[in-house]
């Protein structure tokens, strides 16, 4: 001891001076250590054995332990070096000796342990301290081999607590980097033994021991992230252990219980820990299994030098691998004990497994993704850990199941790329099984499994990766679809009240939907939804992806694989019903060649899930050549490399049902043996050996697992049966023994299992999974972009909407309501983004069902019910939120939305300006009608609120009614609850923003707008029944005005809406037979549309104006009621838009309406006002409307409903319109082309002819003023400038059709009627004669040039003659007027040289014709026109004419023209 002290004192100090400042004062430390020495000695003196001895008693000298403590006390204050330069063993060894001594009791040992703990925590010892490595070795060895006498249970527990306390301090101290792999394993081993032994001790010891073990694991694995994967160095970086770790990992991968080579080993030791912790040799650690439970004991094997070197290295990966594998092995104790993990729910299933799982979870949390850099650790996780997780995942204990799920969630987060098939198996065989009651899971199990599943769904990329990696992989199950179906079904409260399980499942669904909604617009590839199709055959099992890291590669790859998988599953369905049709179906989809080859059919059998295994077995066992080829190709699809024959045969036979016939069995096993021998020849000499051994394994499997076989085959029997089969030699006994036990422990299932959707994992499946994981495709990791959301949403949307709807319907909690609403909005957002109109329509339909407004209730009661119904209010707000945000993608859903609006309308809850079309400039106001003052303004700002039904003008009026505190109606005073309900109803409607829904319709996409209009038309048309309007007229009016509003708001797209709007209004107009508000709104709505759109839409002006002719189709009673208002609006329409009406079709519609008003007493004034606006000064007369306006004016002239002055004014309009013709004729002369001039003059002539024809008709009016004014106007038109520009043949037509006709008609009237009927008809006849004379004389020169002038002149003479013969009482005015007019005419003709004597008496010349008629009128005219000097000659000619007789025909020239009416002139 003195030599050691001296060595410590002589240690060099200079190099450590720079560290002195970080240590406590030397004296302070010395005092602390001295105090600890005193404490130990004081406790020892209390014991008789260690009491005070007298100096005289040499035999009673101090014990070695006391001497060492006293020696340290003498030296402690005399140390001159700094503490870090002193060997720590000097001041620790006396305490360690006390700890290791088996003579000391528990109190002494406990104080010594406390002293060591205090020194370790002083930070005096670190990696730079002298001889720190040896010191830490001494401390660990001493504490782990602690010996003490047990005096009482309390002292024993104190010592055990202080042991774990000191060991934890060692690992946490700065000098812990000097601990070796062996030290760490020893510390963990010791702590676990104490944890195990504490089960029989106090609760405090149990908790402290478990806490310490937990902290040890956390401290150890917290360093994993700092260890580089390329340099497997321990923490201080001294030595690389890459090769050594690889070798150890291979041993760790085995499933054996023994962990050899001096590491943590299983053994049995009956000695209790309290009697002493088993001493640890230089290379071994103690462990024991006590009381039937697991602990760590010492293995007596010696390790080789290489492994000793690894164990001596500073702590690193090797100790982590051993500790992690030890923790996993703790889960295997069930197998060692031969017990079922479900056998004891509390004491067995929640003790050691739960503790081990907690430690494993902590290790994974701290190590994280660093595990993948170390193959040894990763191998343990992939195989042993996950296999145990699969087993304990089915535990009846909710605590164990919850911890298992937490571990898997951490593994998914950190290591999912390395655990692809393990994750699939966990979800399929654990989570999806437990979450359904049909597999026998308890409610607690279901709830924990559902909670775990929802936690996974909350990971933003979880479902995307499930879809990409499993649902699109033909060899994997559809995890994504299975999870979606499970969640949607679990959310349905079928015949049960809503429970937490339903809400939990709903949370999972909504989490998935919200994840998709959050990824919208993240620059995804999902906008390209081109359909996948195979135009030619390609091996579907050979589909490859160029890069699993580049979305541009893996996204199309996933879609192709999903398409293949979907078609294969459809093909499997066909195949199970008829194998031939199944093959044909796959050929049609180009997944199999037109001429099936063995390889393609074999791969179809091998990789297609859902095929009937019986059919596969029968097909493979057939003897025909093609089936045999398929069988051999099928066997080659398996990878049997490095696989035992039993495992290979197990995997092979589980893919189909082995046929029952011996020949078929032989063919199948022969193909298997050949394939296996080609890949794993190892021990077998040839394929025949593989075939015989395969037969033997089948026999063993049948013998051992068939309950009907009483005497089972022993191991010796099996080995004896297989002698000399390996090319005449025996197979190794160990090889056959391993096969025997493998088959006995795990049956090879040669028949399909009962139809469970999610099978339970068994050892055989696990072996197959681990083998398959070597060659599986890489795990696709998705980021937060919407690569596959479109495809996923198509699958999930329907079930999700149904599930949310059911929960929303059954929920009674506002928090659940809000959760459902969040889900609805997320679905709507996704549907709109991907333009899935059908989905969003379904969503709207579901939501509208919850707007439960009870019709049987009164209005006030319904409003209060709506205000009290939180669900209905939230559904209402959500529906209109979706409509406002995503209206572009609503189609048939508009009908349901409109139904909701109509319900609110009936309750008077809608805003007053709902149908606003944002137009202030087009107000159409109507006057008082039927004695009632009505405002028919078609502007939204002056319309009577269409959203308020007659029974309630607005919701505020309801408030007013409720607030009326009249004493006689005290019962109507609202309660506070009613007022709150009213306010809630108002607030809800305000949040819906219903006004913007229609006001912003101009931003809707065309298809959505069209469906909205159709919905309004359909809703508005429902009340129409037969030929009358139903009682619900208010609904039709409301829909009609909304329809008009959106039509006006979409004037740029009027072509899209016009047809439906017009047909709807037309149906209303034509089906109405009595005046009502609906037809009124229809007609004036149509006028409003025309009024607003005419200035902007010239391309549909004609259609708009033509629609006004609907007014002509009104029933007589309806027309009488509304013509006045209609005419006023038409008048305003014309005045505002006359300049925009260009076509004849448009003007025809206007004038048709105006013409009808001429006969209507109330409407005539407004109609004539419009006509006056058009025709006054020719302001708006056009060639297109000239004839129409003339006809309309004529109707007003002929109308008797107004004063004569209106008819006179109308005549003036007609007469003045000739000025327009003069102007147009003048303008025609400016035309560049002669053809155009001629055409325009021809058109003007036609219009002029129609004008004078119209006047001719009016000349026959019964009213004298009108009749006479018409003749004057006609004369004005006939003698103006226009006729001079017209062709002469048109004049002949004018005389025949107008002048002669009016004279004849007037004469007929005069003869047929008395003067009482036609007052002063004589004066009218005189005016007509003067008109004839004046027109004839004015255009005499032009007329005389016509070949048919003779006939024209004869027509004039004949009319003169007839008029001269008319007799009126007391008046001979006509007899005086005719000779006078005729004389003037003859004089003009004479002066013009037209009327001259002819010497040719052989023909009936013009001369004879003239005097023939004049003789009948006034013979004296001849003398007046011709002087007496010619009288003799004239008399002789007269005699000749008289001889002709009155019936003699006067021939006309052969080139005489005939009037346009085809009549010729005859005497």
Return d(Cα 131, Cα 88) in angstroms, integer.
7
- The DSSP line for 34-49 is HHHHHHHHHHHHTSST
Query: b vs e for 689-710, b when ≥16 Cβ sit within 10 Å of the residue's Cβ?
Result: bbbbbbbbbbebbebbbeeeee
Residue 1162 annotated as catalytic: no
Pick from 1050, 1048, 1049: which is nearest to 1085 by CA? 1048
Residue with tokens 């998988």: 565
* Residue 207 CB neighbour total at 10 angstroms: 12
Query: b vs e for 91-123, b when ≥16 Cβ sit within 10 Å of the residue's Cβ?
Result: bbbbbbbbbbbeebbbbbbbbbbbbbbbbbebe
Q: Which tokens hold the place of 12?
A: 């060099």
* Residue 681 CB neighbour total at 10 angstroms: 13
* Residue partners of 338: CB distance under 8 A and separation at least 6: none
* Residue 169 CB neighbour total at 10 angstroms: 18
Q: Residues 1406, 1353: contact at Cβ < 8 Å?
A: yes
* Residue 364 CB neighbour total at 10 angstroms: 25
Query: b vs e for 770-785, b when ≥16 Cβ sit within 10 Å of the residue's Cβ?
Result: bbbbeeebebbebeeb
DSSP SS3 for 982: helix
Pick from 1224, 1353, 1336: which is nearest to 1285 by CA? 1224
* Residue partners of 682: CB distance under 8 A and separation at least 6: none
CA 993 distance to own-chain centroid: 22
DSSP SS3 for 1112: helix
Return d(Cα 1350, Cα 1410) in angstroms, integer.
9
- DSSP letter assigned to residue 659: P
Helix axes 662-679, 645-653, angle to 10 degrees: 130
DSSP SS3 for 610: coil
Q: What is the phi-psi region of residue 1314: left when phi exceeds 0, alpha when psi lies from -120 to 50, beta otherwise?
A: beta
Residue with tokens 């004192």: 9
User: Which of the following is catalytic: 302, 661, 1236, 1372?
Assistant: 661
* Residue 263 CB neighbour total at 10 angstroms: 32
Task: Give the H/E segment covering residue 365.
Answer: helix 352-367
* Residue 140 CB neighbour total at 10 angstroms: 23
Number of H helices, E strands in the chain: 65, 2
Return d(Cα 1176, Cα 1189) in angstroms, integer.
11
Return d(Cα 681, Cα 602) in angstroms, integer.
24
Task: Give the H/E segment covering residue 573.
Answer: helix 551-577
Q: Residues 991, 875: contact at Cβ < 8 Å?
A: no
* Residue partners of 897: CB distance under 8 A and separation at least 6: 844, 848, 879, 880, 883, 890, 1015
Give the dihedral sign, CA 449/450/451/455: positive
Q: Which tokens hold the place of 1152?
A: 């048709």
Q: Residues 1214, 1194: contact at Cβ < 8 Å?
A: yes
DSSP SS3 for 180: strand
Active site residues per annotation? 661
């Amino acid at each position: 001891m003195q030599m050691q002290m001296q060595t410590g004192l002589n240690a060099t100090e200079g190099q450590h001076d720079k560290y002195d400042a970080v240590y406590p004062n030397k004296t302070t430390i010395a005092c602390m250590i001295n105090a600890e020495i005193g404490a130990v000695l004081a406790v020892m003196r209390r014991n008789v054995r260690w009491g005070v001895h007298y100096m005289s008693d040499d035999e009673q000298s101090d014990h070695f332990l006391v001497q060492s403590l006293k020696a340290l006390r003498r030296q402690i204050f005399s140390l001159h070096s700094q503490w870090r330069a002193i060997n720590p063993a000097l001041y620790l060894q006396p305490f360690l000796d006390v700890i290791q001594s088996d003579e000391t009791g528990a109190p002494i040992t406990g104080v010594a342990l406390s002293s060591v703990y205090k020194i370790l925590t002083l930070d005096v010892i670190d990696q730079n301290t002298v001889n720190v490595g040896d010191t830490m070795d001494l401390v660990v060895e001493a504490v782990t081999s602690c010996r003490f006498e047990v005096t009482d249970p309390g002292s024993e527990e104190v010592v055990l607590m202080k042991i774990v306390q000191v060991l934890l301090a060692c690992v946490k101290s700065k000098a812990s980097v000097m601990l070796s792999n062996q030290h760490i394993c020893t510390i963990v081993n010791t702590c676990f033994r104490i944890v195990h032994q504490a089960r029989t001790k106090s609760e405090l010891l149990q908790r402290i021991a478990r806490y310490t073990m937990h902290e040890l694991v956390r401290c150890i694995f917290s360093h994993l992230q700092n260890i580089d994967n390329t340099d497997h160095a321990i923490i201080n970086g001294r030595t690389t252990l890459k090769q050594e770790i690889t070798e150890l990992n291979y041993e760790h991968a085995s499933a054996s219980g023994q962990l050899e080579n001096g590491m943590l080993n299983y053994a049995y030791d009956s000695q209790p820990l309290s009697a002493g912790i088993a001493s640890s040799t230089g290379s071994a650690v103690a462990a024991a299994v006590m009381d039937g439970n697991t602990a760590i004991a010492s293995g007596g094997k010696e390790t080789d030098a290489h492994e000793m070197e690894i164990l001596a290295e500073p702590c690193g990966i090797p100790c982590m691998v051993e500790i992690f594998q030890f923790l996993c092995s703790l889960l295997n104790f069930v197998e060692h004990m031969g017990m079922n993990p479900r056998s004891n729910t509390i004491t067995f299933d929640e003790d050691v497994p739960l503790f081990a799982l907690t430690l494993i979870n902590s290790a994974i949390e701290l190590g994280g993704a660093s595990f993948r850099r170390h193959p040894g650790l990763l191998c343990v996780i992939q195989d042993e850990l996950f296999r145990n997780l699969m087993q304990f995942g089915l535990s009846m204990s909710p605590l164990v199941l919850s911890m298992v799920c937490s571990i898997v969630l951490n593994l998914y987060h950190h290591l999912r790329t390395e655990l692809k098939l393990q994750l699939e198996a966990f979800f399929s065989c654990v989570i999806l099984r437990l979450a359904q009651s049909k597999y026998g899971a308890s409610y607690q199990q279901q709830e924990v499994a559902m909670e775990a599943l929802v936690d996974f769904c909350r990971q933003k990329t979880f479902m995307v990766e499930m879809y990409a990696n499993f649902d699109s992989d033909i060899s994997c199950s559809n995890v994504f679809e299975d999870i979606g179906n499970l969640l949607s079904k679990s959310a349905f409260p079928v015949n049960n009240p809503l429970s937490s399980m339903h809400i939990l499942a709903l949370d999972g669904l909504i989490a998935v939907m919200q994840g998709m909604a959050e990824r919208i617009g993240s620059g995804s590839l999902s906008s390209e939804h081109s359909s996948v199709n195979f135009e030619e055959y390609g091996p579907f099992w050979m589909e490859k992806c160029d890069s699993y890291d580049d979305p541009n590669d893996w996204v199309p790859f996933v879609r192709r694989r999903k398409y293949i998988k979907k078609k294969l599953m459809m093909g499997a369905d066909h195949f199970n019903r008829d194998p031939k049709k199944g093959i044909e179906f796959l050929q049609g989809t180009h997944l199999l060649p037109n001429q099936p080859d063995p390889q393609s059919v074999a791969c179809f059998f091998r990789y297609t899930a859902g095929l009937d295994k019986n059919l596969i077995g029968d097909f493979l066992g057939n003897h025909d050549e093609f089936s045999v080829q398929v069988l051999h190709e099928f066997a080659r699809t398996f990878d049997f490399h490095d696989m035992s024959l039993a495992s290979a045969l197990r995997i092979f036979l589980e893919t189909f049902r082995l046929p029952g016939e011996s020949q078929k069995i032989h063919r199948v096993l022969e193909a298997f043996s050949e394939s296996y021998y080609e890949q794993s020849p190892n021990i077998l000499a040839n394929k025949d050996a593989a075939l015989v051994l395969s037969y033997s394994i089948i026999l063993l499997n049948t013998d051992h697992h068939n309950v009907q076989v009483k005497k089972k085959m022993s191991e010796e029997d099996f080995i004896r049966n297989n002698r000399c089969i390996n090319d005449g030699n025996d197979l190794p006994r160990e090889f056959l023994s391993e096969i025997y036990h493998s088959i006995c422990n795990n049956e090879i299932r040669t028949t399909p299992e009962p139809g469970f959707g999610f099978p339970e994992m068994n050892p055989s499946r696990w072996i197959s999974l681990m083998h398959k994981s070597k060659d599986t495709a890489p795990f696709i990791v998705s980021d937060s972009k919407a690569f596959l959301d479109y495809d996923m949403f198509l699958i999930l949307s329907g079930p999700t909407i149904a599930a949310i709807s059911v929960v929303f319907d059954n929920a009674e909690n506002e928090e659940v309501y809000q959760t459902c609403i969040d889900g609805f909005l997320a679905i709507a957002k996704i549907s709109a983004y991907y333009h899935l109109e059908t989905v969003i329509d379904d969503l709207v339909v579901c939501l509208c069902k919850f707007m439960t407004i009870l019709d049987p209730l009164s209005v006030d009661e319904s409003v209060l019910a709506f205000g009290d119904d939180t669900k209905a209010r939230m559904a209402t707000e959500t529906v209109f939120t979706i409509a406002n945000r995503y209206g572009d993608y609503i189609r048939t859903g508009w009908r349901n939305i409109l139904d909701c609006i109509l319900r609110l309308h009936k309750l008077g809850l809608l805003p007053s300006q709902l149908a606003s079309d944002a137009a202030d400039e087009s107000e159409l106001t109507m006057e008082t009608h039927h004695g009632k003052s009505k405002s028919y303004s078609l502007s939204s700002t002056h319309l009577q609120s269409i959203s308020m039904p007659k029974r309630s003008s607005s919701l505020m009026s309801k408030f007013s009614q409720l607030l009326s505190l009249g004493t006689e109606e005290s019962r109507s005073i609202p309660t506070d609850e009613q007022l709150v309900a009213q306010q809630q109803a108002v607030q809800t409607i305000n949040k819906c923003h219903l006004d913007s829904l229609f006001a912003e319709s101009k931003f809707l996409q065309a298809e959505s707008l069209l469906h909205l209009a159709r919905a309004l038309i359909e809703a508005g048309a429902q009340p129409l029944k037969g030929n009358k309007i139903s009682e619900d007229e208010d609904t039709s009016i409301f829909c009609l005005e909304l329809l008009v509003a959106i039509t006006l708001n979409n004037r740029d797209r009027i072509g899209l809406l016009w047809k439906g709007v017009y047909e709807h209004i037309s149906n209303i107009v034509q089906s109405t037979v009595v005046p009502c508000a609906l037809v009124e709104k229809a007609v004036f709505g149509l006028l409003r549309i025309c009024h607003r759109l005419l200035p902007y839409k010239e391309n549909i002006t004609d259609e708009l104006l033509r629609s006004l002719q609907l007014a002509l189709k009104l029933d007589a009673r309806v027309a009488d009621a509304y013509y006045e208002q209609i005419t006023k609006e038409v008048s305003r329409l014309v005045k505002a838009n006359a300049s925009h009406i260009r076509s004849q079709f448009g003007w025809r519609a206007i004038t048709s309406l105006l013409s009808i008003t001429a006969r209507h007493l109330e409407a005539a004034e407004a109609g004539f006002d419009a006509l006056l606006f058009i025709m006054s000064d020719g302001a708006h007369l056009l060639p297109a409307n000239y004839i129409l306006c003339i006809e309309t004016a004529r109707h007003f002239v002929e109308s008797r409903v107004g004063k004569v002055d209106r008819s006179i004014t109308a005549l003036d309009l007609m007469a003045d319109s000739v000025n327009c013709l003069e102007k147009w004729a003048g303008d025609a002369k400016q035309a560049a082309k002669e053809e155009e001039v001629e055409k325009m003059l021809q058109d003007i002539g036609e219009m002029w002819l129609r004008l004078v024809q119209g006047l001719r008709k009016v000349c026959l009016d019964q009213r004298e003023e009108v009749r006479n004014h018409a003749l004057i106007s006609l004369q004005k038109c006939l003698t103006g400038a226009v006729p001079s520009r017209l062709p002469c043949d048109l004049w002949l037509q004018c005389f025949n059709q107008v002048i002669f006709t009016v004279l004849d008609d007037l004469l007929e009237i005069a003869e047929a009627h008395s003067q009482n009927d036609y007052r002063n008809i004589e004066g009218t006849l005189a005016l007509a004669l003067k008109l004839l004379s004046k027109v004839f004389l004015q255009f005499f020169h032009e007329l005389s040039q016509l070949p048919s002038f003779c006939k024209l002149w004869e027509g004039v003479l004949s009319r003169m003659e007839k008029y001269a013969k008319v007799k009126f009482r007391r008046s001979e005015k006509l007899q005086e007027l005719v000779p006078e007019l005729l004389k003037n005419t003859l004089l003009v003709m004479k002066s013009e040289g037209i009327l001259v004597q002819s010497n040719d008496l052989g023909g009936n010349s013009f001369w004879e014709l003239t005097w023939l008629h004049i003789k009948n009128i006034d013979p004296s005219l001849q003398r007046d026109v011709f002087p007496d000097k010619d009288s003799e000659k004239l008399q002789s000619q007269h005699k000749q004419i008289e001889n002709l007789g009155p019936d003699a025909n006067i021939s006309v020239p052969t080139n005489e023209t005939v009037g346009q009416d085809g009549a010729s002139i005859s005497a």
